[in-house]
Amino acid sequence: MTLFTEDIIRDIARVMDDAVAKDPFAIPSLEARSLVPRISADWRKQLKEANGPAPHNHAKRIRLEPQRPMEDGLTFTNEWERRVYTVLKERQAALPDNDTIGILPLPRMKVLKSIPVEPDFLITYRGRVGIIEVDGRYHRGPRSRSDDNSRERLIRNAGVRQIDRIDVQDSTSKEQVEKFVTDFLKHLAS
C-alpha cells in the first residue's frame, strides 16, 4: 500500500500551487510527484545505494553540493582543481611504490588560533609537505593577496615546506598543469 495516492499528490500539488501563487521567493513552479520508493526492512542499504558513493576527503561543505566535480571518491571545489588532481594522480602512478606522493584534496587543518583553513591540495613527497592552491579571480585583489599571505605564513610556521599557486588561467591546458606539477614536486623534494 502506498502512502501517496494520486488524490494525496493532487492535494499536495494544490497547496504548493497556492504557495507559489503568493510568490514570496519568486519560485516559478513546484511539482508534486511520488519519488519515494516503497520502504523495506533494508532501508539503510536502499538509502546508501540511492545516494551513490560518498567522497572520502574532509570536504564536508563541498560534499553537500551535488554539482561539484568528483573523481576517485574525492570531491573538488571546481573543475580546475580536478584537472590538477588528474595530473597529480598520473604523476603518482608513474612513480615507484617506494617514492610516491600523497595527494590530499581539500583537507581541513587548524593552525594556531585561526579558523580552520582548507587548502586545495596538501601533497606529501619524500618526507616533505607542500600545498598547492588553485587560484581564481577572487585571489587577485589586494585584500585577497593580503589574506593569502597571512594564511600562508601561519601554514609555513606549522611546518609546511612549500606553498605554490597556479592561476586558473594557467591551468587551461594539460601541458601547463603538468609543467606546474613538475616544478612543484622538484622544489618540494629539494
Q: Is 1's pLDDT higher than 50? A: no
Whole-number percent of the chain with pLDDT over 90: 33
* Model pLDDT, residue 113: 74
* Model pLDDT, residue 168: 85
* Closest of 187, 110, 121, 102 to residue 154, by C-alpha: 110
Residue whose cell numbers read 594522480: 89
* Model pLDDT, residue 150: 78
pLDDT tens digits, 89-147: 999 999 999 999 999 999 988 887 767 888 999 999 999 999 999 987 654 555 555 56
* Model pLDDT, residue 51: 62
Q: Beta partners for 75?
A: 70
Domains of the chain are 6-51 (no CATH), 60-189 (3.40.960.10)
List helix spans (H) across the chain.
Answer: 6-22, 43-51, 60-63, 79-94, 142-157, 174-189
**Residue 104, SS3?**
strand
The one-letter amino acid code at 29 reads S
DSSP state of 110: -
pLDDT tens digits, 27-48: 666 666 556 556 667 767 766 6
Q: 3-state DSSP: the chain helix, strand, coil percent, rounded to 5?
A: 45, 15, 40
Q: Beta partners for 167?
A: 135
Q: What are the backbone angles phi and psi of residue 154, rounded to the nearest 5°?
A: -60, -45
Q: Is 59's pLDDT higher than 50? A: no
Considering the chain, what is the average pLDDT of its residues?
79
